Structure 1
Amino acid sequence: MPEITYVVPDGSVHVVDVPAGQSVMDGSVRNNLPGIVAECGGSCSCATCHVYLEGEFADLFDEATDEERELLEYAEGAQPTSRLSCQLIVTGSCDGVRVTVAPEA
């Protein structure tokens, strides 16, 4: 099972096993990690699961959809590495992925 590393807003680091087919958001919510609120439950209609995805891992996930890019355009603290964790679907090749939860998520 792929291990995903989450750096949460207080600076603590959590390594979580996330089954392939689940989202990075699911891994955080199911393990009660702080920072990812996920108000919309993963339907890509809010930005409360905003994370920064380190560039070396970007190719492991599908590109952001127009809908996701639009939401991120208005997200507080958005950066070029910003993604919505609900849209980052884990695959077997995602072992070792590291995300930083945006402070305003």
Structure 2
Amino acid sequence: MPDITFIAADGTETGFEAPDGVSLMAAATGFGVAGILADCGGSASCGTCHVIVDPAWADRLPAPEPVERMVLETTAVPAGPTSRLACQVHLTPALQGLVVHLPERQV
């Protein structure tokens, strides 16, 4: 089970274990992480699960698909070089210890 840490814009950390194979978004909403709205339910169409992957982890993720890149262009807080949609990041044992930051707002 991967250990995941979400860091809110105010620095508050929320960490938990998540099952392999689920999306980062599903893990976050299942655990009740504030700041992940997931309005579209994981279809990569709303951008309300925008996260900023800690630079130490960014290269360990597969590159975003074109649809994800397009949606990231519409997020409430401008996307940066390590921004991802949490619905498009699927957890694996290789991501145990993953750290992501939450933008100050999703809408």
In which range does the TM-score fall when normalised by the shorter chain? over 0.9
4+ long deviations beyond 4 Å: none
SS of aligned partner of 2:15:
strand
TM-score normalized by the length of structure 1: 0.93
**Consecutive unaligned residues in structure 1, runs of 5 or more:** none
Aligned length: 105
Per the alignment, residue 96 of structure 1 pairs with: 97
Distance 1:79 1:59 in 2: 14
Distance 2:2 2:67 in 1: 27
Residue 55 of structure 1 deviates from its aligned partner by 2.1
Residue 61 of structure 1 deviates from its aligned partner by 2.1
Is 1:61–1:89's contact at 8 Å kept on the other side of the alignment?
A: no
Q: Percent of counterpart pairs with the same letter?
A: 38
Residue 53 of structure 1 deviates from its aligned partner by 0.4
Distance 1:10 1:33 in 2: 14
SS of aligned partner of 1:27:
helix
Distance 2:13 2:53 in 1: 15
Is 1:39–1:48's contact at 8 Å kept on the other side of the alignment?
A: yes
Per the alignment, residue 22 of structure 1 pairs with: 22
Alignment-mate amino acid for residue 27 of structure 1: A
Residue 16 of structure 1 deviates from its aligned partner by 1.2
